[in-house]
């Protein structure tokens, strides 16, 4: 891979951690023509560094998707919380969140997101500023981080699926319409066998549209259960019991495939890592940064990172 590192600006801002200040560096890491601008925050060098790998959608470094009006800001909240515990943090705008990448996104596959993450990891490995690197994969990023984790010290699956993508999507569709769920399974079977779907069910066009098929086909080839078995580093698996998108059973399946891992189910945490006391607040928390991030999540991750 050809990598071009661009330092945009380095500055200090006045947040104190004990006697230290948080330093912030804006860094752009390139995977060939793909630009991955991100933010590194840390109180000092030679401390652990967490690198964040995003879930699905055009997610920016703070956990927002402006086009979809998703403003949960959960990654920014996570960053601030772990920085207070003397842990460095880097997150970057996903390739699909950066308008400069628009011309280069055609035929993007799942593995391409993993290659982006590898470029980020390699940059910090070569810099050697931090004591160890911990990779967190959130949602779809759990699988992507698995594929990119060969050069890190620890791996964390956060709300990651424990099955192939066809099973997850079929379950989600079947919950509302069993007949449509069966049709979706047939479409997936065709895609797996032929690599394409010539006739798409009109009620499933949002899933199986022609432009989506290459990415879905590449995703179908990957089983998180098989990938997690390959890891030889410490593994932490976390899920929230208020998660509407990824169920506790997925976390348990990953743990069963990797018995040496640590499994933690966090009470009242939803998919965007917020502490949800009222069920009616679950979806609302996707669109507002007012809901607090789970304190138990931060406590669990800090213990794992510093162990």
pLDDT digits (tens, 9 = 90+) for 91-114: 999 999 998 998 888 889 999 999
- Any domain includes 254: yes
Residue 108 shares a structural domain with residue 183: no
Question: Per residue of the chain (307 residues), what is the pLDDT tens digit?
Answer: 444 444 333 333 333 344 469 999 999 999 999 999 999 999 999 999 999 999 988 999 999 998 888 899 999 999 999 999 999 999 999 999 998 998 888 889 999 999 999 999 999 999 999 999 999 999 999 999 999 999 999 999 999 999 999 999 999 899 899 999 999 999 999 999 999 999 999 999 999 999 999 999 999 999 999 999 999 999 999 999 999 999 999 999 999 999 999 999 999 999 999 999 999 999 999 999 999 999 999 999 999 999 9
Residue 67 shares a structural domain with residue 134: yes
Residue 205 shares a structural domain with residue 157: no
Residue 87 shares a structural domain with residue 202: no
Number of domains the chain contains:
2
**CATH number of the domain to which 285 belongs:** 3.40.50.1820
Residue 196 shares a structural domain with residue 263: no
Residue 114 shares a structural domain with residue 213: no
Q: What local confidence, expressed as pLDDT, does residue 5 receive? A: 42
| Owning domain of residue 112 | 5-163+233-306
Residue 28 shares a structural domain with residue 114: yes
Q: DSSP H helical segments within the chain, as ranges?
A: 74-83, 110-127, 140-147, 165-176, 178-194, 205-208, 213-220, 224-228, 248-257, 281-284, 295-306
d(CA 208, CA 194): 14
Q: pTM of the prediction?
A: 0.90
Residue 181 shares a structural domain with residue 37: no
Residue 78 shares a structural domain with residue 151: yes
- Any domain includes 228: no
């Amino acid at each position: 891979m050809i990598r071009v590192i661009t330092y945009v600006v380095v500055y200090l801002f006045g947040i104190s951690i004990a006697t230290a200040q948080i330093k912030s560096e804006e860094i752009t890491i390139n995977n060939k023509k793909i630009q991955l601008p991100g933010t590194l925050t840390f109180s000092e060098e030679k401390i652990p560094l967490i690198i964040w790998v995003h879930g699905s959608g055009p997610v920016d470094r703070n956990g927002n998707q402006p086009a979809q009006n998703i403003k949960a800001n959960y990654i920014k909240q996570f960053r601030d919380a772990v920085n207070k515990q003397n842990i460095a943090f880097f997150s970057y705008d996903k390739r699909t969140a950066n308008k400069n990448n628009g011309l280069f996104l055609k035929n993007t596959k799942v593995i391409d997101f993993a290659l982006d993450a590898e470029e980020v990891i390699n940059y910090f490995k070569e810099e050697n500023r931090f004591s160890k690197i911990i990779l967190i994969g959130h949602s779809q990023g759990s699988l992507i981080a698995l594929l990119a984790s060969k050069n890190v010290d620890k791996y964390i699956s956060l709300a990651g699926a424990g099955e192939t993508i066809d099973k997850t999507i079929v379950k989600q569709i079947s919950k509302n319409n069993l007949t449509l769920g069966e049709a979706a399974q047939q479409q997936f079977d065709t895609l797996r066998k032929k690599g394409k779907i010539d006739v798409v069910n009109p009620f499933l066009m949002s899933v199986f549209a022609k432009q989506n098929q290459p990415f879905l086909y590449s995703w179908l080839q990957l089983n998180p259960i098989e990938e997690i078995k390959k890891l030889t580093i410490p593994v932490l698996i976390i899920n929230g019991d208020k998660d509407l998108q990824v169920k506790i059973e997925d976390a348990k399946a990953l743990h069963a495939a990797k018995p040496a891992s640590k499994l933690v189910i966090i009470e009242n945490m939803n998919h965007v890592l917020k502490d949800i006391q009222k069920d009616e607040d679950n979806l609302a928390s996707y669109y507002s940064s007012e809901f607090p991030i789970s304190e138990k999540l931060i406590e669990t991750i800090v213990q794992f990172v510093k162990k």
